[in-house]
A = this chain, B = another copy of it.
Amino acid sequence: MVIVMNLDERKKKILSSVVEDYIESAEPVGSKTLVEKYHLDYSSATIRNEMKLLEEAGYLEQPHVSAGRIPSTKGYRYYVDNLMKERKLSMVDINYIDNTINGFGDTDAIFEQIADVVSKILSTPTVITKNNTDTIENIKVVKISDNLLLIVLMSKNGAVKDCIAKLTDTVEDKVIEQMTNILNRDLAGTPIKELHLALNNVIMKDLQAFSNIMDDVVNSIKYEMSKDMKKLNSGMEKILEKPEFSDIDKVKNFINMISTKEVIDSALQKSKDNKLSIVIGSENKEILLNDYTIISLDIEKDNKYLGKLSVIGPKRMNYAKTISTLKYINDKFKNTLTSNKSRNSVKGDNSEKGRR
């Protein structure tokens, strides 16, 4: 796919050292540092010559003439595709993930858990985008008390969402049954993204029949569905720690940018085929994102697409750790949605599908 440039071993070693040192230190890397810290058996002058060549070939760049080198977008890309070694997660992180993601709550709640965990481990903001081509499959309405109804929506792909409706009028069981039938008749098969419209139609058609009650129910569903994409700001505090954001204006710009739905949407549209997609710096079509990297993972359950989990941060991000964390979470997630038993003493494992 990618045209592999003819970099000799020494250049590869230098490039990967520059990338890794810069990821760690956030400071431009100089020839002397490379020789000393990475045991390159050449003098600094030789390394300087090589770095010059790497710069001319577009893999490195120089903030100013008397500074060391930092990786360019092309450099990061080469590193990710050819040089990076996949890394095992630390036991600390594995334990943290295992103890925190427990599968309680509806699908949104689980997404939220995942976003929080990823943010904590990677110190990056995390975005969850739900699959809104998913369709409604089934709706249940349960009477909790005289003026409280509980509505549960289940999607074709297995997502579950519930909400509570407070009624102004009391309601009889018979009415609930009728209403449930109407909702299922009108909404089953509706794509999530068209749900709002469909709900309006339900009201138009059937409001008369059930007066306020249907209205209460529909509004509750509408509100619950409008909470989409909310998890955007998870882990925002963490970026304050990164030297890239030492200036308050940069923080503000970044927050504004990722709060702009269009920017994120544009970034997440591409590369639908890959389960794991990495878009580095200027590879982003959106100019505002040219200094940032977005790594996203498709979240699936039983081979059905539920949504996308994306990590967004400066180009200087820990690619190896990010990728292994996302992959681990993905595996974990598949199990979690099926069963929440994993953290307790697993007694009878025979109920599992056995694909591992």
Contacts and interface: CB of A to CB of B under 8 A. Distances in A.
Contacts of A165: 104
A233 interface: yes
Given A152-B144, A162-B164, A252 B240 contact: yes
A328 to B, nearest CB: 21
A147 B215 CA distance: 30
Interface in A51-91: none
Nearest to A336: B166
A224 interface: yes
Contacts of A162: 150, 162, 164
User: Most B CB atoms within 10 A — which of A104, A215, A259, A340?
Assistant: A104
Interface in A282-315: none
Q: How would you classify the secondary structure of chain A's contact residues: helix, strand, loop or mixed?
A: mixed
Interface in A191-242: 212, 215-216, 219-220, 223-224, 233, 236-237, 240-241
16 contacts: A104-B165, A105-B163, A142-B150, A148-B152, A150-B162, A162-B162, A166-B339, A168-B340, A168-B341, A236-B237, A237-B255, A240-B251, A240-B255, A241-B252, A245-B248, A248-B251
